[in-house]
Structure 1
């Protein structure tokens, strides 16, 4: 060894390889097979394996705008849509939903442009968050986890059908998705949830399935007879077993103390039972009560600001299906279908403006007018006064009709079908 060269450390003794017994090899192989099998089962039963997503190759083009109300319409197409209660118009698409399938369609032709399907039934489908995605909004598809829970919510981009988010609410079948501004509520007879546009929960109200904190809910034992959503407030008619009358409660959709503790603006008893909350405005909430039928308007402090008679039979004031009164909003007016009448309310103060008798559903805007479904077709109204201009004949089976429009296409939800009508 040359001078100055560091000594090489001694080489460690060579260890004899450990002898593996046959039983060790068999156990290792069995463990590997079990892990692979578990992974295969998880993949086969997971969401990805049971989901078909076929986005559009190119975004759907919107239909031409309606420049005037036609005197005649013809059926352009129809499609099954048993999972919707009203035609779903989101961005440039008309969306139909049936079974576990959600389809984005060209409004003019009805051609399928994208689809999203899962191997479980839909609980509800609606449009929401109109300011999202450069004003195109979202399609919200809520799927059932089992026979008792609707717990898988997916947001889709309406132009292409691409996934844009997901969440897991805990509501029961029969729920409705009501959207307003940047909020959506999943209704329920004893529990409801509000989510914002990123599908993060901002409010839970009622009998919370798995409460993290106890004693945060004001009336968990009360039934929710009806619900209406405003831009940042939720109106609820509650029916409590220990109270002789219904009560109207107004809650913030996004509480300062978190979603577990509702921020209640007010909760006041109503005169008797059978109330239906109709609409929530920026500083007003309207509720219809029987005996005789009238509309009570409250401010957001719970003070009664107006009482207006309703030209509707008392039999119309029943708990609405899904806990939501059929309403539409356009051009400063809320139109409410009572079950036999369509009543227009001023969108700001919720004062009744005019009434259409013998109506089959709420109104929809078309060009510079409103159209209301009636047994003989579509009654065309001047929006401010409610004056009848003329009636467009439409042959259809009897039953409720919920209209909507996109461009010059008029859509009708007739039971489990969506029917598209165009001028001719």
Structure 2
């Protein structure tokens, strides 16, 4: 067999090969230098975090235990066995009783929002960081150890709000929202989509501003206003694309007759109902059987209920302000509580119907040992969860809190954790 002589390599061939290798090395170095792993610091838990047993009784007294700054949360982020605080670029998992740092994750980016998601199952912390594309740089952390459990990056608004239920998370900003599953794979994107992969998959409305959102089961609800429409709109979407890879719309309609006042606020969503707080600044959109308009009625705050197709179901009058303080509802022990600015309304978590309201409370509460704990100006009101009847009161100091700052109260074991403004304050039994 004749011997095949190798091809001769000219100086030009060698130069081109060298240039390609240098380009690959430079590109790899740039990717590594700008990767989330390179730009982060992680101090993981030295040992597994012990389980926290539910408290068998509400303590007779409480005393301040520790406090920390947490500007990226609105309500205490309560994981399975840790309290999570977030400020600047750092997310910290803390021992609930002492406040000791169990783990820390830090990046050289600013945090936009942080939540503890799925504490009874996947037990993750989701941290949205701000980069040149908005608040779409997301890291998932194991809430017990602080180890990275996933990440994603996408276009986002410069500020976002994160909400979750047992299956999905919604990241919502003023012009767009996304849903993710627990694996951080995107379900849908809605609103402003700069470079759609499949044009035409969204409903046809344009120039929409998104005000609040909620997720329940496999659906997402959003309050929005599109273009020059004469009212605020409730839209219900599927949390994932349908079989045709389109954003599925289950219902969308105007729910107010006017936009001069603050928009209604989505309180929450279950698998069968949607609850909206309407401060009454804009009258509800009239129906065909509504009486003829008379003299303008004074603003009447209400909790409005809708089906998960966006159909009006019921309305309950409550005490509240036209523009309630920013904050999220808290669901625990089968109850959902929401602060209207004048009272805390307590609803059945399944059908989101108001059961009772507590005037004079100053924020949302949580259930401990079968009793409802609500923050009051003097401390904590301990109430019968079923009826709202006060059983007793616990005096608490809140040093540094302004009178106009609402308080969000959560519990983890026998520890009571509150947040007002950027302050997270924990109290332990005394």
- Using the size of structure 1 for normalisation, the TM-score is 0.87
1:153-172 map, 5 Å = 153-172=138-157
CA displacement at 1:138 relative to structure 2: 0.8
Matched, 1:109 2:109: no
In structure 1, the partner of 2:339 is 337
Distance verdict in 2 for CA 1:136–1:29, change over 3 Å: closer
Task: Report if the CA contact (8 A) 2:59-2:414 is conserved.
Answer: no
How much does 1:64 deviate?
4.3
> Relative to structure 2, which stretch is displaced further, 118-127 or 164-173?
164-173
Specify which of 343, 347, 350 is matched with residue 348 of structure 1: 350
Instruction: Quote the residue 1:400 is aligned against.
Output: 406
Determine if the alignment matches structure 1 residue 297 to structure 2 residue 305. Answer: yes
Partner of 2:243: 257
Equivalent-residue separation in structure 1 for 2:54 and 2:5 (angstroms): 85
Cα displacement string for residues 303-325 of structure 1 (whole angstroms, at most 9, x for unaligned residues): 32212111223343xxx64xxx5
Query: In structure 2, what is the Cα distance between the partners aligned to 1:13 and 1:269?
Result: 79
Alignment correspondent of 2:175: 190
- In the TM superposition, what whole-angstrom CA distance separates every residue of 1:328-384 from its partner, at most 9, and x where no partner exists? 112222111112321011223322111112222111112221111121111111111
For residues 24 and 230 of structure 1, what CA distance do their matches in structure 2 show?
Answer: 61
- Provide the residue aligned with 2:370 in structure 1: 368
- 1:2-401 maps to which residues of 2 (within 5 A)? 36=25, 39-130=28-119, 135-146=121-132, 149-218=134-203, 219-257=205-243, 261-272=246-257, 273=259, 274-289=263-278, 290=280, 291-316=299-324, 321=326, 326-396=328-398, 397-398=401-402, 399-401=405-407
Q: Greater CA radius of gyration, 1 or 2? A: 1
Cα pair distance change 1:74/1:31, threshold 3 Å: same
3-state DSSP of counterpart to 1:314: coil
- The match for 1:4 is none
1:58-78 CA deviation, whole Å, 9 max, x = no partner?
A: 211133431211232111111
| Coordinate RMSD, CA, aligned | 2.6
Once residues 31 and 262 of structure 1 are traced to their aligned partners in structure 2, the CA distance between those partners, rounded to angstroms, is 43
User: In the TM superposition, what is the alpha-carbon distance from 1:416 to its structure 2 partner?
Assistant: 1.6
Range 35-44 or range 344-353, more displaced: 35-44
**In the superposition, relative to structure 1, how do residues 28 and 400 fare at CA in structure 2: closer, same or farther (>3 Å)?**
same
Distance 1:360-1:41 versus aligned 2 partners, 3 A rule: same
SS at 2:363 equivalent: coil
Whole-angstrom CA distance in 2 between matches of 1:188 and 1:296: 23
Is the Cα contact below 8 Å between 1:62 and 1:93 reproduced in 2?
no
Q: Can you list the C-alpha shifts for 1:92-126, whole angstroms capped at 9, x where unaligned?
A: 11111111111111111211121111111111110
The alpha carbon displacement at 1:277 in A equals 2.1
Deviation track 1:129-171 (CA, whole Å, cap 9, x = no partner) reads 345xxx252111111123x511211111111111111112322
| Counterpart-to-counterpart distance in 2, 1:79 and 1:275 | 32
User: Unpaired runs of 5+ in structure 1?
Assistant: 1-8
CA distance in 2, matches of 1:13, 1:265: 69
Counterpart for residue 291 of structure 2: none
Residues 253 and 28 from structure 1, CA distance in 2 versus in 1: closer, same or farther, beyond 3 angstroms? closer
* 1:414 and 2:414 matched: no
Gaps of 5+ in 2: 281-298
CA 249–43 in structure 1, closer or farther in 2 if over 3 Å, else same:
closer
The question of whether the paired residues in 1 share the 8 Å contact of 2:252 and 2:310 is answered with yes
TM-score (norm 2): 0.86
Give me the whole-angstrom Cα distance separating, in 1, the residues matched to 2:166 and 2:365. 20
Whole-Å separation in 2 of the counterparts to 1:207 and 1:393: 48
Shift of 1:421: 0.6
Structure 1 residues 53 and 38 mapped into 2: Cα distance closer, same or farther (>3 Å)? same
